């Protein structure tokens, strides 16, 4: 393993697709094949590679294209679980929160939240809960929970509605750039020897004597199909896990019920003037009983979210008119300057993979193990390991649970290294170096220790828009697995999520650079249609 200085100096690995495909198609057997390149699958691949296993990860679309780029961007313990008495769950997540912030300080940082109070007794009630939250974090605490008077609340969150304001409570959690963190996980896994590839779909599982022994995959760009053999296959396809899981059941003649019920969460992005400053707003209980956040992020403000059950799980879910109404209506109750539809710069939705309680209580799948926390891991009678649920913040704990099960069922070798050792992700600046806040607009700071590599590329100083250079687009193509305009403008840069009209305007130039770098059609027309959707607030 590289030491810290070597890591900082090491040239970024190339993510040349021909090389990755050749590696995947070479004869041989992997210890682990992971299906799905969101937070969960990437966490598993990274941890497996760190533990000395040979691992391949296949993602059908782009890294984090599913739920993992559509979160509220909070690295958190889950304040809402306190009220339900799930203290051990919260304590574990708070511990994971600390670990995540330490591993990638350029992409994940502490953030102060303020909860304004308007009714008598609210401050004492919520304040006590948030004190408990701080206490549960113990040495992983990010800062003190403080009670604020009316004036101090106004001074710390200038955008709050002041009519009837009594005071507030300030507490600490974290925020991050979810899609860039996913890419950092992938690149770190690759540095540790994993073979990660996007735009490759797993079509089916391969069986021998009733056991899963590999996957059949298809290159989404060229259409070629190939097979991978593995001692263990991990189904980490998020809200889509039931696809492979139910097919696995059918193979054994079993009709399984679904494990996941998707729940849609919508975010609206508005200009920073609607919520100025560098602290987030938490409303613990809206009129319809949800949690509302206003989070300053990369120079804009995220408002969200909703929680709407869905029967389907489209690749690109869209916000419903009523969901937008709900967010705008609640925002107008707490924000001094209330946004309206015309103010929304980008509107997007993600699907939570909620695990059905009944499926975890009596697993009908022939599961041999069943860890029921916020996430769920099960091993089918044919050896398929399925993991879903949980949250971004706990990706590492989920990976450890998965590997424990994978080892047991496939007899994989034990870790070769001392895994308690802390690790940092590719691009993490050396400890102690100043990190620019994630509330500030995007820029070179998001590249951490790799900024000089990005600047040294052709067009390293040529801005397409403030915070996005030609060099960054080339870096995305050469070192960050980007293949399409969408990969670049939605997930390497977050422009689509922040300002969809701007993303559309930048797309033609990004397409030219990608065509030059990769020699393929980078899907400009598709992206322009997508950007129109994000810009159109239903």
Ligand X SMILES: Cc1cc2nc3c(=O)[nH]c(=O)nc-3n(C[C@H](O)[C@H](O)[C@H](O)COP(=O)(O)OP(=O)(O)OC[C@H]3O[C@@H](n4cnc5c(N)ncnc54)[C@H](O)[C@@H]3O)c2cc1C
Q: Taking contact as CB under 6 A, which single stretch among the options 69-77, 408-416, 475-483, 496-504 is the one that binds ligand X?
A: 69-77
Cα 217 to Cα 228: distance, rounded to the nearest angstrom: 8
Based on the shown chain and the rule CB under 6 A, indicate whether residue 236 belongs to the binding site for ligand X.
yes
Cα 300 to Cα 393: distance, rounded to the nearest angstrom: 22
Based on the shown chain and the rule CB under 6 A, indicate whether residue 58 belongs to the binding site for ligand X.
yes
Based on the shown chain and the rule CB under 6 A, indicate whether residue 74 belongs to the binding site for ligand X.
yes
Based on the shown chain and the rule CB under 6 A, indicate whether residue 72 belongs to the binding site for ligand X.
yes
Based on the shown chain and the rule CB under 6 A, indicate whether residue 41 belongs to the binding site for ligand X.
yes
Based on the shown chain and the rule CB under 6 A, indicate whether residue 383 belongs to the binding site for ligand X.
no
> Among 50, 66, 428, 468, which residue interacts with ligand X (rule: CB under 6 A)?
66
> Among 113, 240, 275, 447, which residue interacts with ligand X (rule: CB under 6 A)?
240
Based on the shown chain and the rule CB under 6 A, indicate whether residue 284 belongs to the binding site for ligand X.
no
Phi, psi (rounded to 5 degrees) for 151: -70, -40
Based on the shown chain and the rule CB under 6 A, indicate whether residue 36 belongs to the binding site for ligand X.
yes
| Of 224, 208, 206, 207, nearest in space to 216 by CA | 206
Neighbours of 425 (CB within 10 A): 25
Nearest approach in angstroms of CB 78 to ligand X is 8
> Among 7, 20, 40, 326, which residue interacts with ligand X (rule: CB under 6 A)?
40
* DSSP code of residue 138: G
Nearest approach in angstroms of CB 173 to ligand X is 9
Nearest approach in angstroms of CB 33 to ligand X is 10
Supply 325's token pair.
């109404």
Based on the shown chain and the rule CB under 6 A, indicate whether residue 99 belongs to the binding site for ligand X.
no
Between 40 and 156, CB nearer to ligand X: 40
Between 71 and 153, CB nearer to ligand X: 71
- Please report, for residues 46, 130, 239, 460, the alpha-carbon distance to residue 394 in angstroms, rounded to integers and kept in the order given: 14, 20, 17, 35
Between 37 and 167, CB nearer to ligand X: 37
Cα 58 to Cα 24: distance, rounded to the nearest angstrom: 10
**x-marked contacts with ligand X along 241-270 as a string, rule CB under 6 A:** ------------------------x-----
Q: Taking contact as CB under 6 A, which single stretch among the options 70-78, 162-170, 183-191, 226-234 is the one that binds ligand X?
A: 70-78
Rg (CA), the chain: 23
Residue with tokens 């980008």: 346
- Checking phi first, is residue 84 left (phi over 0); if not, alpha (psi -120 to 50) or beta? alpha
Q: What share of the chain is helix, strand, coil (3-state, %, to 5)?
A: 40, 25, 35
Phi, psi (rounded to 5 degrees) for 250: -60, -35
Nearest approach in angstroms of CB 460 to ligand X is 30
* DSSP code of residue 71: S
Nearest approach in angstroms of CB 506 to ligand X is 24
Cα 195 to Cα 205: distance, rounded to the nearest angstrom: 19
Based on the shown chain and the rule CB under 6 A, indicate whether residue 382 belongs to the binding site for ligand X.
no
* DSSP code of residue 160: B
What is Dmax (Cα atoms) for the chain?
A: 71
Nearest approach in angstroms of CB 377 to ligand X is 12
Nearest approach in angstroms of CB 364 to ligand X is 22
Between 189 and 454, CB nearer to ligand X: 189
Size of the site for ligand X (CB under 6 A): 40
* CA–centroid distance for 101 within its chain: 14
**x-marked contacts with ligand X along 325-364 as a string, rule CB under 6 A:** -------------------------xxxx-----------
Cα 357 to Cα 121: distance, rounded to the nearest angstrom: 34
Supply 93's token pair.
């997540």
Between 239 and 503, CB nearer to ligand X: 239
DSSP string, 387-406: EEES-GGGHHHHHHHHHHHH
The answer, yes or no, to whether the previous bond of 305 is cis (omega within 30 of 0) is yes
| Of 487, 433, 83, nearest in space to 291 by CA | 83
Based on the shown chain and the rule CB under 6 A, indicate whether residue 391 belongs to the binding site for ligand X.
yes
Which residues in the 178-207 window bind ligand X by CB under 6 A? 201-202
> Among 47, 54, 68, 365, which residue interacts with ligand X (rule: CB under 6 A)?
68
Between 57 and 213, CB nearer to ligand X: 57
| Of 353, 251, 339, nearest in space to 302 by CA | 339
Binding site for ligand X (CB under 6 A): 35-41, 58-61, 64-68, 70-74, 76, 201-202, 236-240, 265, 305, 350-353, 388, 390-393
């Amino acid at each position: 393993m590289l030491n810290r200085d070597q890591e900082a100096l090491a040239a970024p690995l190339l993510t040349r697709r021909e090389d990755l495909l050749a590696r995947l198609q070479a004869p041989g057997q992997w210890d682990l094949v992971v299906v799905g390149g969101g937070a969960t699958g990437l966490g598993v691949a990274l941890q497996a590679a760190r533990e000395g296993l040979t691992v391949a990860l296949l993602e059908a679309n782009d890294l984090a294209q599913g739920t993992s780029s559509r979160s509220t961007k909070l690295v958190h313990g889950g304040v809402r679980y306190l009220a339900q008495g799930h203290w051990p769950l919260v304590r574990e997540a708070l511990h994971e929160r600390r670990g995540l912030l330490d591993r990638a300080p350029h992409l994940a940082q502490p953030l102060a939240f303020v909860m304004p109070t308007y009714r008598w007794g609210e401050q004492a009630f919520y304040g006590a809960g948030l004190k408990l939250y701080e206490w549960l974090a113990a040495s992983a605490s990010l800062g003190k929970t403080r009670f604020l008077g009316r004036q101090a609340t106004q001074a710390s969150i200038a955008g709050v509605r002041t009519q009837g304001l009594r005071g507030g409570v300030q507490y600490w959690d974290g925020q991050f750039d979810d899609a860039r963190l996913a890419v950092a996980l992938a690149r770190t896994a690759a540095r540790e020897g994993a073979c990660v590839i996007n735009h490759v779909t797993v079509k089916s599982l391969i069986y021998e004597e009733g056991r899963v022994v590999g996957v059949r995959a298809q290159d989404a760009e060229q259409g070629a199909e190939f097979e991978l053999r593995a001692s263990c296959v991990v189904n980490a396809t998020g809200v889509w896990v039931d696809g492979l899981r139910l097919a696995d059941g059918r193979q054994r003649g079993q009709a399984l019920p679904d494990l996941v019920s998707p729940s849609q969460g919508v975010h609206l992005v508005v200009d920073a003037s609607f919520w100025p400053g560098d602290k987030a707003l938490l409303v613990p209980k809206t009129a319809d009983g949800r949690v509302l956040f206003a989070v300053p992020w990369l120079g804009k403000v995220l408002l969200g979210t909703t929680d709407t059950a869905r029967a389907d799980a489209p690749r690109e879910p869209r916000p419903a008119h009523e969901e937008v109404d709900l967010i705008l209506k609640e925002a107008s109750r707490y924000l001094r300057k209330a946004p309206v539809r015309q103010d929304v710069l980008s509107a997007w939705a993600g699907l939570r993979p909620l695990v059905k309680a009944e499926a975890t209580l009596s697993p009908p799948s022939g599961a041999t193990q069943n860890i029921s926390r916020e996430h769920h891991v099960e091993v089918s009678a044919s050896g398929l390991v399925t993991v879903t649920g949980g949250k971004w913040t706990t990706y590492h704990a989920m990976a450890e649970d998965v590997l424990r099960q994978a080892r047991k069922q496939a007899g994989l070798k034990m870790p070769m290294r001392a895994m308690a050792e802390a690790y940092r992700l590719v691009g993490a600046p050396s400890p102690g170096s100043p990190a620019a806040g994630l509330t500030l607009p995007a820029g070179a700071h998001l590249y951490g220790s790799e900024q000089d590599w990005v600047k040294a590329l052709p067009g390293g100083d040529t801005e397409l828009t403030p915070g996005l250079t030609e060099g960054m687009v080339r870096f995305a193509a050469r070192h960050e697995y980007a293949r399409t305009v969408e990969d670049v403008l939605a997930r390497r840069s977050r422009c689509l999520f922040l300002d969809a009209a701007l993303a559309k305007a930048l797309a033609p130039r990004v397409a030219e650079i990608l065509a030059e770098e990769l020699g393929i059609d980078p899907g400009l027309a598709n992206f322009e249609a997508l950007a129109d959707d994000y810009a159109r607030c239903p």
